[in-house]
A and B are shown apart, each in its own frame.
Chain A
Amino acid sequence: RKEVEQDPGPFNVPEGATVAFNCTYSNSASQSFFWYRQDCRKEPKLLMSVYSSGNEDGRFTAQLNRASQYISLLIRDSKLSDSATYLCVVPGFQKLVFGTGTRLLVSP
């Protein structure tokens, strides 16, 4: 099993839709997790941190299910500007391990 796995997508959704991505991880000892956003030809930027069961920031909700070893990101009321690749990030030994990302395309 890979350290972190994501569905590459793309997820095509209309503006205003709610969309959710899942990410699974293999290291049951992992404590904190992150979602990063990467726009085309740009560097990844931290979107949210997840330390306990979940975290909410405006339209974005991240949830952690330790028993099943997955993290989810929920985006409500999608905007055109949400179009990007969303990277699931899991701590490895002395470094963070990045998933390959899920691509989201929000259309008018």
Chain B
Amino acid sequence: GAGVSQSPSNKVTEKGKDVELRCDPISGHTALYWYRQRLGQGLEFLIYFQGNSAPDKSGLPSDRFSAERTGESVSTLTIQRTQQEDSAVYLCASSLSLDRIAGPRVYGYTFGSGTRLTVV
């Protein structure tokens, strides 16, 4: 597509429920990233995909968080048993990767407009 698409744009859920967030990257972008941004805070790295493999899961805050990616397209971030501290904007970004390291360094990222998650 023309840009990175995320859905839903807003999600309100009750504490303890599971949620699934979706990201559709720019066509041809092999690298995909998930970040979280709490209100008034900076971007917090969650996970990175190169193709459908995730070499860096270091940012996932707990085992309630998981992510997967189908080939070099859609990715889903799943949060199980949501807690109030999970409330944030979840941003997805994609980039070209000529190789696993050069891509984001050369081209930067293109972000989606995010999913605003509110846990009540």
Contacts and interface: CB of A to CB of B under 8 A. Distances in A.
A95 B56 CA distance: 9
A99 B109 CA distance: 15
Nearest to B59: A95
B104 A97 contact: no
Scoring B41, B43, B56 by chain A CB atoms within 10 A of each residue's CB, the highest score goes to: B43
B112 A95 contact: no
Given A32-B106, A43-B111, A94 B101 contact: yes
Interface string B96-118: 00001100111011111110000
B108 A89 contact: yes
Contacts, number: 51
Contact of B42 (A31, A32, A34, A101): A101
Interface residues of B, number: 23
Contacts of A34: 108
B109 A46 contact: yes
A36 B91 CA distance: 14
Interface residues of A, number: 22
Contacts of A93: 56, 101
Interface of A: 31-32, 34, 36, 42-46, 49, 87, 89, 91, 93-101
Given A91-B105, A100-B42, 14 more contacts: A43-B111, A43-B114, A44-B111, A46-B109, A46-B110, A87-B43, A91-B104, A93-B56, A94-B55, A94-B100, A95-B48, A95-B56, A96-B104, A98-B43
